[in-house]
Chain A
Amino acid sequence: MPIESPVPAAGEEYPAGLSRRTFIAATAAAGGATASGLLAEPAEAAEAAENGRVSLTVNGARHATTVDNRTSLLDLLREHLGLTGSKKGCNAGACGACTVLVDGRRVVSCLTLAVRLNGADVTTVEGLADGDLLHPLQQAFIDQDALQCGFCTPGQIVSGVGCIREGHTGSREEIREWMSGNICRCGCYPKIVRAVEQAAGRK
């Protein structure tokens, strides 16, 4: 199907409320139907937004709660449970700042809907320390100065805990590869690798 140029010439108008991307999708899907007719659909869907019940464990504490079906695990943690350690860096699964462990596996919580986590066991950065005793990787981040601004740090540490549990710490190269889902814009990467090495007992 041909996709026509979505860009209006000077003086032309964009169809109401459409970004170029949705306009491309809409015109492609409708095969030339007017875009405005398609817009009613999401609007109706919004009115039908529903809540769901979910029961899950976060850092050892049970939570049974009603959540908006649209709520991500990240927003549940941050906005409803007061656990703001996990960060929203991109909300698109590209930066890793929101990384938590779900049933022991690393996930990006921004792309995980909360309602589908019934029975799940979630660990966030707030759940790693044993009282005042830091998790060895938390201590290693301080020792190696593997952080600067600190915003990606919770995700890096949780991801590093996952990396160590998965056994991907055989070499610096392996750690670098398996820690590459977590962006650090301050550029602490070599020190993050050293911190993971330290906590993994490699040095």
Chain B
Amino acid sequence: MSPQPQAAVGRPVSRVEGRLKVTGQAKYAADQTASGTAHAAVVDSSIARGRITGLDTAAAEACPGVLRVISHRNAPTLPYLPNRGSLNLPGERLHVFQDDRVLFHGQPVAVVVATTLEAAQHAASLVHVQYTAEPSATDLTSAPADEPTTYARGDAAAALASAAVRLDLTYRLSRMHHNPMEPHAIVTRWDGAELTVWDKTQWVQSTRDELAAVFGINPASVRVISPYVGGAFGNAARCWPHATIAALAAREAGRPVKLVLTRRQLYFGVGYRPAYEYRLSIGSDLQGRLTASVHDLRSETSRYETFAERGVLVPGRMLYTTPNVTQSHRTVPLDVNTPTPMRGPGYSTAAFPIESAVDELAHELGIDPIELRRRNEPENDQASGLPFSTRRLRECYTVGAREFGWNRRNPKPRTTRDGDWLIGMGVATAVYDTLRAPAQAHVRLDARGTAVVESATSDMGPGTYTSMSQVAADALGIDVPQVTFRLGDTTLPQAPVHGGSLTMASIGSTVQDGCDRVRQQAIALAVGDERSPLYGADPAAVVVYDGRLHVKGDPARGETYRQLLTRNDRTHLEATGSYTPAQSRASMHAYGAVFAEVAVDARLGMVRVRRMLGVYDAGRIISPKLADSQAIGGMVGGIGAALMEHTVTDHRDGRIVNANLAEYLVPVNADVPALKAIYLNGRDDQADPIGVKGLGEVVLVGVAPAVANAVFHATGRRVRHLPIAPEDLL
């Protein structure tokens, strides 16, 4: 088949759902306001571990408008069938209202259902719960750990012992919360045994399968709808306990129920990026060539499930040439709720210690940090032995150094001033693996030359609606406005979780496959139709552009979809596209080089980011306007991780003390100056049929260490924990 002209892909298309979003018409989960819907408010525990000994609901039940107060005292036993899908973890998910045990501070202990939100919230405050508290442990640094996951190659201990230079360093990363602007919200409605759910989710199938398993019903009896997601960054991939609460409340109250978690409840009602302690020893020769690294990690998890960030050990094995590597990762069970992946999971965690340590080594040896990284650039993936599909880090460094003005950097720390401000520049490498998963999409092209493309994926902000419309438009040979892409509904063809930067590769390849099939049907129809100008033409020589089929190189010989289908009495053509990732014979990752310039107040220790540049090797860029936004957003998120974000737990009782947006600081507009992103032109044809490597995660990965390295360069002070606070620099 002849390759289709690339008309939409690669062009700066504006967000196709933009108009709905700027006018307030895009309906998020909590925007479902069907009349007769009751409101639910959750009562959460005020101890971290123990038993509920008293639960007085009389005052709550006496409130006007209250329909039900449900707790373990009166809740039905729920089946909680095993569900290996839905991203459930080793261990057993939290069961709500099934017994008197309290496993973490903030665990749901009751729910009030009322006719109005005001009544539900007030009545929830009147539920009197008494507890017998038991000693709790929530501090990662002092609790015993599980058995480790390990990795070794070579003899790292011996290589370290004989290294010309050796650094033994301990880094700490704070717990972080995703804090998407949209709180988790769900509306549940039972029609007999059928359950309909409007959910905030990155994966409608996850909610469907989990609710089906919890209630012991057929997944086919559950429909989950989620057309718009107000950000998620990983924390809406699993189906959290509040979904069960809402479905239970609707069943018990006999009417639809809306449950929106409060901002405070988002700090324990859904997951978070776990805190880490990361011990790292590296050895090198005098030219800065790494000879060994030893990585010992501890991260928090709950007592009822084991969560270990996927990928956290990967960069230590493959990012730089290192003959001898030893790694261990221990999870530490605590009296906390279960963590979950957050943007750039694992890779962004590992980036802070590894990229800081490389910077420390460069300083120790008096070698430029970029030059040191170049000296350790591997020729293949040392962990798997596989060749890289594409790896253009050297080019990222070169372009970035040139565009950022790296040559203006005085290598000596604390030498550049601007009045009271100490100025520093830092760099860090970003890497994230290219994930792909099987998916399906349905494509229907009607006789007017417009198409509807459907897949049960999601769009939490990157622009799935837009980028899929671009892929479909080119594969069908029509314009983007002629394509309607539908997602976020379990009645649509199966799709994987919208996370891990796998959506473009997986759904994009699926959409292209489905559209290719429809286009080929049309071509076959035309070349076999005596009345068509294309009759008898070689199907492989026919392309479609602007809704018109024609012979490549002979635009005059052709006809439109409309003419073809109308003449043949066809209302539409349709096909189901699918994609199954081929087994990879290469090491596939997206890469980036991130540059930051900071100013640090010499007397106050206050850090301000002045400018940043990210240069990325992410394969083919489908939607450059939206990809740019993703990268800028990744930098903003990384600035938060570097300088602000820190979930603070009172270890005396396990309570999170800053569970709000006034005390858990995230960047605001005044914190964000000039940010720039550059994507290297290219594609990775080994990765997937459309040549992309994924970009939503990699754009976050190197940001925090780049800022931290710039802070060191500005001040001469090395801070080995995140976030970096003013008091660290005084």
Please measure, in the bound complex, the distance between the C-alpha atom of A94 and the C-alpha atom of B129, giving whole angstroms: 29
Q: Mark B459-473, 1 if CB is under 8 A from A, else 0.
A: 011110000000000
- In-complex Cβ contact of A88 among B17, B30, B462, B625 (8 A): B30
Assuming the A-B contacts A148-B231, A149-B180, A185-B231, are A138 and B23 also in contact, with contact meaning beta carbons closer than 8 angstroms in the complex? Answer: yes
Q: Which of B117, B128, B629 contacts A191 (CB 8 A)?
A: B629
Asked if A166 CB lies within 8 Å of chain B CBs, one says: no
Tell me if B18 is interfacial: C-beta within 8 Å of chain A.
yes
Pair A147/B21 contact, Cβ less than 8 Å: yes
Interface size on B, residues (CB 8 A): 89
In angstroms, Cα B182 to Cα A153, docked, is 11
**How many residues on chain A are close to B (CB under 8 Å)?**
78
Question: Would you call A182 an interface residue if the criterion is a C-beta within 8 Å of the partner chain's C-beta atoms?
Answer: yes
How far does the Cβ of A14 sit from chain B's closest Cβ, in whole Å?
6
Query: Are A17 and B129 CB-contacts (below 8 A) given A84-B31, A145-B15, A152-B181?
Result: yes
User: In the complex, are the beta carbons of B670 and A177 less than 8 A apart?
Assistant: yes
Chain B residues 162-178 with CB under 8 Å of chain A are 178
B660 contacts A134, CB within 8 Å? no
User: Among the listed stretches B322-330, B357-365, B632-640, B679-687, which one makes contact with chain A, having 4 or more residues with CB under 8 Å of it?
Assistant: B632-640
Q: Is A183 in contact with B666, judged by CB distance below 8 angstroms?
A: yes
- Provide the residues of chain A in CB contact with B18, threshold 8 Å: 141-142, 145, 147
Could you tell me which residues of chain B, from 610 to 643, have a CB within 8 Å of some CB in chain A?
Answer: 625-626, 628-630, 632-637
Q: How far is the CB of B14 from chain A (nearest CB, A)?
A: 5
Interface centre among B130, B671, B672 (most CB of A within 10 A): B672
Chain A CB within 10 Å — which of B62, B129, B230, B260 has the most? B230
Residue of A nearest to B625 (CB): A145
Q: Least Cβ distance of B363 to chain A in Å?
A: 30
Contact of B667 with A by CB under 8 A: yes
Query: Are B263's CB and A91's CB within 8 A?
Result: yes
A186 touches B669 (CB 8 A): no
Contact pattern, B 7-35, Cβ under 8 Å of A = 1, otherwise 0? 00000001101111111111110110100
- Of B30, B179, B230, B671, which is within 8 A of A149 by CB? B230
Instruction: Fill in one digit per residue for B258-274: 1 if any A CB lies within 8 Å of its CB, else 0.
Output: 00101100000000000
Q: Is the CB of B134 within 8 A of A10?
A: yes
Known contacts A18-B46, A148-B231: A190-B674 contact under CB 8 Å = yes
What are the residues of chain A within 8 A of B122 when measuring CB–CB?
A: 46, 49, 70
- What are 9 A-to-B residue pairs whose CB atoms are below 8 Å? A13-B130, A20-B653, A46-B126, A87-B181, A89-B183, A95-B263, A125-B22, A150-B17, A190-B672
Given A87-B182, A149-B460: 6 more A-B contacts, CB < 8 Å: A20-B655, A49-B118, A138-B23, A148-B462, A149-B232, A183-B666
Q: Which residues of A contact B (CB under 8 A)?
A: 5, 7-8, 10-14, 16-20, 39, 42-43, 46-47, 49, 68, 70-71, 75, 78-79, 82-92, 94-95, 97, 124-126, 128-129, 134, 138-139, 141-143, 145, 147-154, 157, 175-177, 179-193
Interchain residue pairs A-B with the least CB separation, the first 9: A85-B24, A151-B230, A187-B636, A187-B633, A150-B21, A149-B461, A148-B461, A17-B128, A84-B31
